[in-house]
C-alpha cells in the first residue's frame, strides 16, 4: 500500500496588536518569511487563511499578551493549528537591540518552525471567565487596601492614631472610626468622603465574593475545589483561585516543574565547578504564587483540624483527608524548625509555600 505524502506545513508568526496583525509567512521552501499586515478583525483573518490554501496545513503562533486568546480560538474554529507562546521563554540574541513588528513576526515564524518556542495552555471560555472573576476580586482587594491607606494616612496627618490594639480594621477599630469628629467643615467632608469610598469598596468585595461562591461546586472547577480545600490554609475561595489559575494540573510532569511555574524555586547560575543560587525567581503566575504564600502562613500554628477544615473535608474520600493531614503534619513541623533557624519569617513562608505547591500538585495528579 502506497504511503500518502502530506504537504509540508506553512508557519505563520503573528505579531498581534489591538488594531493590526503583522503576519510572517514562512513557506517550506523559504528561509526568510514574507511579511503581510492585516486589520485585527475576523473577516481579515478569514481572508488571510483563505489565501494560503488548506487551513490544516497552517501552523500559527503569537505571543501571549493583552489581546488574549480570542484570535487562537478563531483560528482553531477555522481549522488552523495555533499556539500561544510564553513571551518570557522566547530565545533572544544578547546583542539584538532592534524591535519592530516585522522583525518580531519573522522571528516567531522561524523559531516556531525550528521548535524553539514554548506554548502555554489555552483555557476554555468558561475557565477563563471564572479566572477573570477571581482576578477581579484581587483587584477589588487592592482597591480596598488603597482606600484604607488613604483614610488612615488622613487621620494620621491630623493626629488621630488608633491605639486600641495591634490589629486595625476590626470591629473595635470600626467603632473608633465612627467616633471621630472634626470641627472644620472641610475636614469633616473629607473624612466623610474617605469613609464612603471605603464602605463602597467593602460592598463591592462582598458582592464579588458572593458571585464566586456560586462556582465552588460547579463545573469546570467544582471537583478540584473540593479536594484542594481539604488542605489547611486553602479555603474554598483560595481553592477556586488555584484551580482557575492552573487549569490542567497534569500538564506539569513533576512537582518541581509546577513549583517553577509558581516562581517559588531559587534562581541559579552554574558554570564549571561553581554553583550559585540566589533569590526566588518569582517567574510564572503571580496570582498563583500569592495564593500559595497566603495559604502557607496558616502552617505556623500547631497541627489541628478546626471546625472550618472539618466542614470542608466532610463527604470527601478518606484518602484525600489522610493526605491533607499528612501534609499538615509535615508543613507545620517544617515551619517550626525553619522559624527557629531563620531570622526572617518571609523566607520560611516561601519555603513552606513551595512544599505546599508540591503537595497540591500530587493531590491533583493522582
Condensed to tens digits (0 to 9), the pLDDT of residues 227-258 reads: 999 999 999 999 999 999 999 999 999 999 99
The mean per-residue pLDDT over the stretch 279-305 comes to 95
- Give the model's pLDDT for residue 62: 98
pLDDT at 249 (0 to 100): 97
pLDDT at 2: 52
Mean local confidence (pLDDT), 296-322: 97
**CB neighbour class for 221 (10 Å; exposed up to 12, middle 13-18, buried from 19):** buried
Question: Which tens digit of pLDDT belongs to each residue from 159-204?
Answer: 999 998 878 999 999 999 999 999 999 999 999 999 999 999 999 9
Long-range contacts of 126-133 (CB under 8 A, 24+ apart): 126/219, 126/220, 127/220, 127/221, 127/244, 127/247, 128/68, 128/69, 130/215, 130/220, 130/221, 130/240, 130/244, 131/244, 131/245, 133/208, 133/211, 133/212, 133/215
Mean residue pLDDT across the chain: 95
pLDDT for 5 beyond 70: no
Separation between Cα atoms, residue 177 and residue 160, nearest integer Å:
10
- CA-nearest of 331, 317, 318 to 360 is 331
Q: What would the mean pLDDT of 104-127 be, rounded to a whole number?
A: 96
Residue 74 CA to residue 64 CA, distance in Å, equals: 15
What is the structure's pLDDT at 4?
57
pLDDT (mean) for 214-238 = 97
Asked whether residue 139 carries a pLDDT value surpassing 90, the answer given is yes
- Over 90: is that where the pLDDT of 71 sits? yes
For the domain made up of 10-114, the CATH class stated in words is: alpha beta
pLDDT of residue 3 exceeding 70: no
pLDDT of residue 262: 95
Averaged pLDDT for residues 1-30: 88
Amino acid at each position: 500500500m502506497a504511503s500518502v505524502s502530506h504537504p509540508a506545513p506553512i508557519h505563520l508568526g503573528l505579531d498581534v496588536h489591538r488594531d493590526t496583525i503583522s503576519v510572517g509567512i514562512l513557506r517550506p521552501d523559504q528561509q526568510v518569511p514574507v511579511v503581510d499586515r492585516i486589520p485585527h478583525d475576523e473577516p481579515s483573518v478569514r481572508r488571510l487563511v483563505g489565501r494560503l490554501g488548506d487551513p490544516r496545513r497552517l501552523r500559527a503562533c503569537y505571543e501571549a499578551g493583552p489581546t488574549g486568546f480570542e484570535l487562537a480560538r478563531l483560528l482553531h474554529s477555522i481549522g488552523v493549528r495555533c499556539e500561544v507562546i510564553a513571551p518570557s521563554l522566547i530565545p533572544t540574541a544578547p546583542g539584538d537591540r532592534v524591535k519592530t513588528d516585522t522583525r518580531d513576526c519573522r522571528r516567531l515564524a522561524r523559531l516556531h518552525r525550528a521548535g524553539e518556542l514554548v506554548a502555554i495552555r489555552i483555557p476554555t471560555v468558561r475557565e477563563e471567565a471564572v479566572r477573570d472573576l477571581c482576578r477581579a476580586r484581587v483587584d477589588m482587594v487592592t482597591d480596598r487596601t488603597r482606600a484604607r491607606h488613604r483614610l488612615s494616612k488622613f487621620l494620621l496627618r491630623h493626629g488621630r492614631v488608633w491605639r486600641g490594639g495591634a490589629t486595625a480594621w476590626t470591629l473595635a477599630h470600626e467603632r473608633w472610626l465612627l467616633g471621630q469628629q472634626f470641627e472644620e467643615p472641610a475636614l469633616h467632608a473629607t473624612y466623610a468622603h474617605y469613609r464612603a469610598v471605603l464602605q463602597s469598596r467593602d460592598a463591592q468585595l462582598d458582592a464579588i465574593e458572593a458571585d464566586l461562591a456560586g462556582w465552588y461546586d460547579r463545573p469546570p472547577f467544582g471537583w478540584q475545589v473540593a479536594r484542594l480545600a481539604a488542605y489547611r490554609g486553602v479555603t474554598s475561595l483560595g481553592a477556586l483561585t488555584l484551580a482557575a489559575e492552573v487549569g490542567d494540573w497534569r500538564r506539569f510532569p513533576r512537582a518541581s516543574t509546577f513549583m517553577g511555574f509558581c516562581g517559588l524555586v531559587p534562581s541559579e547560575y552554574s558554570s564549571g565547578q561553581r554553583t550559585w543560587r540566589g533569590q526566588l525567581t518569582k517567574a510564572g503566575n503571580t496570582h498563583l504564587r500569592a495564593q500559595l504564600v497566603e495559604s502557607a502562613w496558616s502552617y505556623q500554628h500547631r497541627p489541628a483540624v478546626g471546625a472550618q477544615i472539618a466542614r470542608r473535608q466532610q463527604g470527601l474520600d478518606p484518602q484525600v483527608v489522610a493526605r491533607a493531614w499528612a501534609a499538615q503534619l509535615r508543613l507545620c513541623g517544617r515551619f517550626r524548625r525553619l522559624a527557629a533557624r531563620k531570622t526572617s519569617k518571609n523566607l520560611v513562608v516561601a519555603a513552606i509555600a513551595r512544599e505546599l505547591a508540591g503537595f497540591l500538585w500530587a493531590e491533583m495528579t493522582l
